[in-house]
Amino acid sequence: MRAITAFSAGVALWLCAAGTGVSSGTLNVLCATDEAWCEAMKSAFETRSGIAVTMVRKSTGEILDQIRAQNAEPSVDVWWGGTGDSHLQAVSEGLLAAYQSPNEADVLPWAQNFFAMSGGYSAGIYAGALGFAYNSDLLRQHKKPAPTCWKDLISEAYRHQIKIANPNSSGTAYTALATLVQLFGEDEAFRYLTQLNRNVSEYTSSGSAPVKAAARGATLIGISFLHDAVTQKEAGFPLVIVAPCEGTGYEIGAVSIVRGAQHPKEARVFVDFALSPEGQATGAAAGQNQVPSNAKAHLPVAAPDISMIKMVDYDFATYGSPNERSRLLKRFDSEILASR
């Protein structure tokens, strides 16, 4: 409770100092988590702080593009959610403002490492492993084999039966691209992606869209983060969730203050809340199943046990760098998307 008490006291003191004019304007937040969590976070933060929030949901890549385009005169105060390697790229481009929340002292080691890696410009708020899920009803109906590995997905049995997001717009899909490169080596990974491309019916803009499509029966297999698949399964859809046998990558979702933010004080209060147990509880309340970064936060009951999944030693520093990210995306565009 210490983190929540400290946060509440800080907000109370600030509100007293500010009088009735809590904010000089509305705090503008771009959200890259599921829409349900965006809304839950907005509501909880406004209730707790009294600060009005405009919250817009976009994919991670779209947020990075917007912040980059508005660098000279940003309209965004806070970037909340989305894969950490994209936040790290924004750090390297000078797009973010440094801030260390007092709640940073309570986060788990992997989040502490991420904060240090960012140089104090971005904080880890949740973690989640990559994988895929298939619709068991469709699998049985069409008498398809059950996939358990990444390399199973290139079988002709799944021709036009797989959805994955576009890594240019989706942090989830960029994590998949970087994961495959780290698992197989770059050239072998692109040979694999060429074969997988034959089975992909659509590259979506959103990273969670593929498993939502699989849940609805609009595709057989969706590649996404496992927690997004768990959310759909918990809603009653016939999904089987797979952590690939070869191993897989993971994300650290992050929160960052935009450099030149028009409401820096309010932005810092938001980051404090995002890192508090109360703020992180909004995920489970919205039906989300990521692993929260605050050690005092409760783990969602259905959250995947990351310790039981074979994970690659994901290199956030390398694959979050602008040069490497840009190079891999250009190769993906020229070798994979251009062939469709």
Question: Which CATH number do you get for residue 147?
Answer: 3.40.190.10
Same domain, yes or no: 193 and 328: yes
The pLDDT-based confidence of 136 (bands split at 50, 70, 90) is very high
Q: Is residue 311 part of a domain?
A: no
Supply the pLDDT for residue 14: 35
Q: Is residue 139 part of a domain?
A: yes
Same domain, yes or no: 85 and 157: no
Same domain, yes or no: 167 and 244: yes
Q: Is residue 177 part of a domain?
A: yes
In the numeric block, which tokens belong to residue 26? 């509305």
Same domain, yes or no: 279 and 145: no
Residue 15 pLDDT more than 50?
no
Phi, then psi, of 325 in degrees rounded to 5: -60, -50
Same domain, yes or no: 41 and 170: no
Number of domains in the chain: 2
pLDDT digits (tens, 9 = 90+) for 159-204: 999 999 999 999 999 999 999 999 999 999 999 999 999 999 999 9
Same domain, yes or no: 44 and 123: yes
Same domain, yes or no: 21 and 81: yes
Same domain, yes or no: 216 and 333: yes
Same domain, yes or no: 271 and 189: no
Same domain, yes or no: 38 and 115: yes
Mean pLDDT to the nearest integer, 96-112: 97
Say how many C-beta atoms besides its own lie within 10 A of residue 68's C-beta. 12
- The chain-wide mean pLDDT, for the chain, equals 92
Q: Is residue 160 part of a domain?
A: yes
In the numeric block, which tokens belong to residue 192? 């694999």
Same domain, yes or no: 8 and 116: yes
Supply the pLDDT for residue 92: 94
Q: Is residue 280 part of a domain?
A: yes
- Looking at per-residue pLDDT, the higher value among 278 and 321 belongs to 278
pLDDT digits (tens, 9 = 90+) for 322-335: 899 999 999 999 99
Query: The domain containing residue 23 runs over which residues?
Result: 2-127+250-299
In the numeric block, which tokens belong to residue 244? 């690939």
Q: Is residue 259 part of a domain?
A: yes
The pLDDT-based confidence of 320 (bands split at 50, 70, 90) is confident
25: Cβ–Cβ under 8 A, 6 or more apart, which residues?
Answer: 262, 263
Supply the pLDDT for residue 180: 98
The pLDDT-based confidence of 307 (bands split at 50, 70, 90) is confident
Residue 274 in 3-state DSSP? helix
Q: Is residue 312 part of a domain?
A: no
Q: Is residue 294 part of a domain?
A: yes
pLDDT digits (tens, 9 = 90+) for 28-48: 999 999 999 999 999 999 999
Same domain, yes or no: 255 and 115: yes
The pLDDT-based confidence of 18 (bands split at 50, 70, 90) is very low
Mean pLDDT to the nearest integer, 92-105: 97
Q: How far apart are CA 261 and CA 23, in angstroms?
A: 13
Supply the pLDDT for residue 322: 87
Q: Residue 330 to residues 66, 117, 255: CA-CA distances in angstroms?
A: 19, 25, 27
Listed residue (210, 213, 234) closest to 224, CA to CA: 210
Determine the Cα angle at 65 with ends 34 and 211, to 5°: 30
Supply the pLDDT for residue 5: 34
